[in-house]
């Protein structure tokens, strides 16, 4: 049975969903199989680019209008691309990376022998992902997205939840989804290859889109508290986004310019991870962040908020430490305890590597996902 991956995102990108797709393609490729990636730009890239370009214009005027435009046209183009693909595919599985992609697949498929499986990467609802930056929670657009999800999700043939947290959050408002065959399978990555001569880059590293939800301001507040305690801690942040200019300005105004580097997006960030001592994360909400999975793969202890799927990713006090996102002083003390006691940090690093191997290694987890997608799992 062939596998088709459907996403409303571009083929190349920096999100966790992009990483999930790349890791799945790599895993099945190593086993002599292949998966067809279908995006809204598949087949008509120039027309799609022209239509999607309007989104940035609309965003300046109205976040709600931009979201409506984005969802409508990305679904329409993806549906057209899937129709062309599925007309020749025969029996297959469409692995949809969002409810919008799942709806496009359900409308495009040629029969029930073309199964649609939804990946739930979001927390609670796709509407909530947009509500953090662009639309009003419980507003008209928010409610419309929820209605679409209520119509679409119970109709898919299977659901893959990336954590128990997202499963509980979705079922809390959409109990009908419980009737759909489902499984909880963690995000996974391939083991990190050894990097010869990886030198010390900074004390801390963090990866994520620079947007309010990711709460990078908190990291700066923690470093400021450490500085007040007489400790100069350095941090590299990888990622880009709409908050970058604001965060760079705040870094300078807090007197942290010599300690914090905003490194932008880099494809080789996994190769750089061994050059740090601790991975830090401050997001308010996460399904199961691949950035933390990659940190564990590199053998880095992790300090993060006890939110969403992060709560399931390790034991507090071992490979993970949960810091209070409302108290940068306590958080700084926790960070300095780990930084200043190398035996403690090394034990945490060893536990991180072991946790990755057991729960997030592609060679361990990939087979479970592939088995569920191809229908061999009840």
Task: Give pLDDT tens digits for 234-249.
Answer: 999 999 988 999 999 9
Return the CA Rg of the chain: 21
> How far is Cα 316 from Cα 336, in angstroms, rounded to an integer?
16
pLDDT at 37 over 90: yes
Give the residue-averaged pLDDT of 72-93: 96
Say if residue 49's pLDDT is above 90. Answer: no
The per-residue pLDDT of the chain, averaged, comes to 93
Its CATH class, for the domain covering 204-359, is alpha beta
Contacts (Cβ under 8 Å, ≥6 apart) of 312 = 163, 164, 165, 288
d(CA 131, CA 151): 20
Q: Model-level pTM?
A: 0.91
Residue 194: strand, helix, or coil: coil
* Structural fold of domain 2-190+362-373: Rossmann fold (3.40.50)
Question: What average pLDDT does this structure show over 305-311?
Answer: 95
Determine the pLDDT at residue 25: 95
pLDDT surpasses 50 at 218: yes
Q: Pick from 339, 333, 295: which is nearest to 314 by CA? A: 295
Mean pLDDT of 273-278: 95
Residue span(s) of the chain under CATH 3.40.50.2000 come to: 2-190+362-373, 204-359
Residue 196: its pLDDT value, please?
Answer: 60
For the beta sheet containing 204-207, the strands, ordered from the edge strand earlier in sequence to the opposite edge, are 260-264, 235-238, 204-207, 278-280, 302-304, 320-322
Instruction: Give the pLDDT score at 342.
Output: 96
β-bridge mates for residue 204, sequence order? 235, 278
Q: Is the pLDDT of residue 377 over 70?
A: no
Q: Are strands 92-96 and 2-6 parallel, antiparallel or unpaired?
A: parallel
The number of helix segments (H) and strand segments (E) in the chain equals 15, 12
Question: Which structure tokens are listed for 135?
Answer: 């639309």
Least confident of 35-44, 75-84, 185-194: 185-194
Burial of 171 (0-12, 13-18, 19+ CB in 10 A): middle
């Amino acid at each position: 049975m062939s596998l088709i991956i459907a996403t409303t995102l571009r083929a190349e990108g920096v999100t966790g969903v992009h990483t999930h797709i790349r890791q799945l393609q790599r895993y099945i490729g190593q086993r002599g199989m292949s998966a067809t990636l279908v995006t809204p730009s598949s087949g008509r890239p120039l027309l799609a680019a022209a239509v999607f370009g309007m989104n940035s214009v609309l965003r300046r005027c109205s976040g709600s209008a931009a979201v409506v435009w984005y969802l409508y046209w990305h679904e329409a183009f993806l549906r057209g691309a899937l129709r062309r693909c599925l007309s020749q595919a025969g029996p297959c599985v469409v692995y949809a990376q969002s409810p919008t992609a799942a709806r496009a697949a359900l409308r495009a498929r040629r029969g029930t022998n073309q199964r649609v499986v939804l990946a739930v990467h979001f927390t609670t609802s796709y509407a909530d992902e947009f509500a953090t930056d662009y639309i009003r929670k419980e507003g008209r657009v928010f409610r419309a997205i929820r209605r679409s999800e209520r119509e679409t999700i119970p109709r898919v043939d299977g659901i893959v939840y990336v954590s128990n947290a997202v499963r509980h959050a979705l079922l809390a408002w959409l109990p009908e989804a419980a009737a759909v065959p489902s499984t909880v399978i963690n995000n996974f990555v391939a083991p990190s290859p050894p990097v010869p001569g990886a030198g010390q880059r900074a004390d801390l590293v963090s990866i994520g889109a620079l947007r309010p939800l990711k709460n990078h301001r908190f990291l700066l507040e923690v470093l400021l508290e450490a500085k007040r305690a007489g400790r100069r801690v350095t941090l590299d942040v990888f990622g880009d986004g709409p908050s970058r200019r604001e965060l760079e300005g705040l870094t300078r105004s807090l007197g942290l310019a010599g300690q914090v580097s905003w490194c932008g997006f880099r494809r080789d960030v996994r190769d750089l991870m061994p050059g740090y001592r601790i991975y830090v994360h401050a997001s308010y909400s996460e399904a199961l962040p691949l950035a933390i999975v990659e940190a564990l793969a590199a053998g880095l202890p992790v300090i993060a908020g006890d939110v969403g799927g992060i709560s399931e990713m390790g034991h507090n006090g071992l490979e993970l430490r949960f810091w209070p996102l409302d108290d940068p002083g306590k958080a700084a003390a926790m960070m300095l305890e780990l930084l200043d006691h190398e035996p403690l940090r090394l034990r945490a690093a060893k536990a991180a590597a072991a946790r990755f191997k057991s729960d997030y290694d592609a060679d361990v987890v990939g087979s479970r996902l592939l088995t569920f997608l191809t229908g061999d799992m009840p």
